[in-house]
C-alpha cells in the first residue's frame, strides 16, 4: 500500500507567532523613541526621567478560592522604572531615572529637590516630565504636573537643554494644540515640537529647547 506524504503546512497555515507589539506598552515605545531621537539628533548624551512615582497596589491572583500576590520577580520585571537603563549601552546614552516617591501632599518639597538637582547638573540633557497623565488642564491632581511647576523646572535648566512633557489625550477636540500652547506658556513662550505615533494615538510628547 502506498504511503501518502504529508506536506508540512505552509507559512500562512502555521500557528501564528506572538506579535512583538503584544509585549510591552506601545506608549513606552513612542515615549523612549522620541527621547532617544532628540538626544541623538542634538548630540546630547544624558536623559533624565522625572517619574513622579506613586505607589500602586500590586494585583492579587485567585484560583480555587485561594488568593496570593503576584510574585516579586514578575512585579519587578513589569513595574521597574529603572529597567529602562538597559537602553544606555546600545544607545550610547546615560539614562537617569528619578523614581523617588512623589506624594501629592508634599509636591512643593518634591519640586524643590528636583529643581536643586537640575540646577546643579551642568551636563547637556533631555529632561522628561513624566506624570501619569501630563499637564493639569485646570485644577491639578496627583496624576498631573502643574504649569507653574513646569515653569520652575524650566528656569532650572541650562542653555541647550531640552524639556519634554509626556501627555495623555484629553476628551476635548484638538487637545494636542491646547496642551502645546499651555506647555509653551509655562516655558516662557518657547517654541514647542510635538511627537506622536498612530500606534499610540492617545498620547503625545511636547518638547522644547532652552536657548
Measured between alpha carbons, how far is 101 from 36 in angstroms, rounded to an integer?
25
Closest CA to 157 of 13, 50, 65, 22: 50
Instruction: Say if 29 falls within a structural domain.
Output: yes
Other C-beta atoms closer than 10 Å to the C-beta of 210 total 17
Instruction: Say if 193 falls within a structural domain.
Output: yes
Bridge-based pairing of strands 144-145 and 66-69 is unpaired
105: domain CATH number is: 3.40.50.150
Mean pLDDT value across residues 76-105: 87
Q: What is the pLDDT, as a whole number, of residue 126? A: 98
Instruction: Say if 104 falls within a structural domain.
Output: yes
Measured between alpha carbons, how far is 149 from 128 in angstroms, rounded to an integer?
13
pLDDT > 90 in the chain, percent: 64
Mean pLDDT value across residues 119-129: 96
Q: What is the pLDDT, as a whole number, of residue 4? A: 46
Q: Which domain holds residue 43?
A: 24-56+83-209
How many domains, the chain? Answer: 1
Instruction: Say if 1 falls within a structural domain.
Output: no
Other C-beta atoms closer than 10 Å to the C-beta of 165 total 26
Looking at per-residue pLDDT, the higher value among 107 and 11 belongs to 107
Q: What is the pLDDT, as a whole number, of residue 136? A: 84
Q: Which three cell numbers stand for residue 207?
A: 518638547
pLDDT tens profile 185-205: 999 999 999 999 999 999 999
Q: What is the pLDDT, as a whole number, of residue 73? A: 78
Other C-beta atoms closer than 10 Å to the C-beta of 130 total 22
Instruction: Say if 132 falls within a structural domain.
Output: yes
Instruction: Say if 138 falls within a structural domain.
Output: yes
Mean pLDDT value across residues 166-170: 94
Q: What is the pLDDT, as a whole number, of residue 78? A: 67
Give 23's pLDDT tier (boundaries 50, 70, 90): low
> 2 pLDDT exceeds 50?
no
Q: H or E stretch including 67?
A: strand 66-69
SS (H, E, C) the chain: CCCCCCCCCCCCCCCCCCCHHHCCCHHHHHHHHHHHHHHHHCCCCEEEEECCECCCCCCEEEECCEEEECCHHHHHHHHCHHHHHHHHHHHCCEEEEECCECCHHHHHHHHHHHHHHHHHCCCCCEEEECCCCEECCCCCCCCEECHHHHHHHHHHCCCCCEEEEEEECCCCCCHHHHHHHHHHHHCCCCCCEEECCHHHCCEEEEEEECC
For the chain, the maximum distance between any two Cα atoms, rounded to a whole number of angstroms, is 87
pLDDT tens profile 50-89: 999 887 666 788 888 888 887 877 777 666 777 889 999 9
Give 12's pLDDT tier (boundaries 50, 70, 90): very low
Instruction: Say if 87 falls within a structural domain.
Output: yes
Instruction: Say if 120 falls within a structural domain.
Output: yes
Amino acid at each position: 500500500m502506498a504511503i501518502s506524504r504529508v506536506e508540512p503546512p505552509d507559512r500562512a497555515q502555521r500557528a501564528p507567532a506572538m506579535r512583538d507589539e503584544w509585549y510591552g506598552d506601545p506608549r513606552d515605545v513612542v515615549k523612549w523613541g522620541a527621547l532617544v531621537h532628540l538626544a541623538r539628533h542634538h548630540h546630547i548624551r544624558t536623559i533624565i526621567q522625572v517619574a513622579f512615582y506613586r505607589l500602586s497596589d500590586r494585583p492579587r491572583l485567585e484560583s480555587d478560592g485561594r488568593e496570593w500576590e503576584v510574585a516579586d520577580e514578575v512585579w519587578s520585571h513589569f513595574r521597574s522604572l529603572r529597567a529602562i537603563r538597559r537602553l544606555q549601552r546600545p544607545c550610547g546614552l546615560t539614562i537617569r531615572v528619578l523614581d523617588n516617591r512623589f506624594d501629592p501632599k508634599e509636591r512643593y518639597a518634591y519640586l524643590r529637590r528636583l529643581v536643586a538637582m537640575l540646577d546643579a547638573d551642568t551636563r547637556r540633557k533631555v529632561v522628561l516630565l513624566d506624570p501619569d497623565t501630563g499637564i493639569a488642564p485646570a485644577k491639578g491632581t496627583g496624576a498631573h504636573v502643574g504649569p507653574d511647576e513646569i515653569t520652575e523646572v524650566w528656569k532650572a535648566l541650562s542653555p541647550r537643554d531640552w524639556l519634554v512633557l509626556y501627555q495623555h489625550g484629553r476628551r476635548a477636540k484638538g487637545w494636542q494644540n491646547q496642551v502645546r500652547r499651555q506647555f509653551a506658556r509655562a516655558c516662557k513662550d518657547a517654541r514647542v515640537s510635538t511627537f506622536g505615533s498612530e500606534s499610540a494615538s492617545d498620547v503625545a510628547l511636547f518638547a522644547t529647547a532652552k536657548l
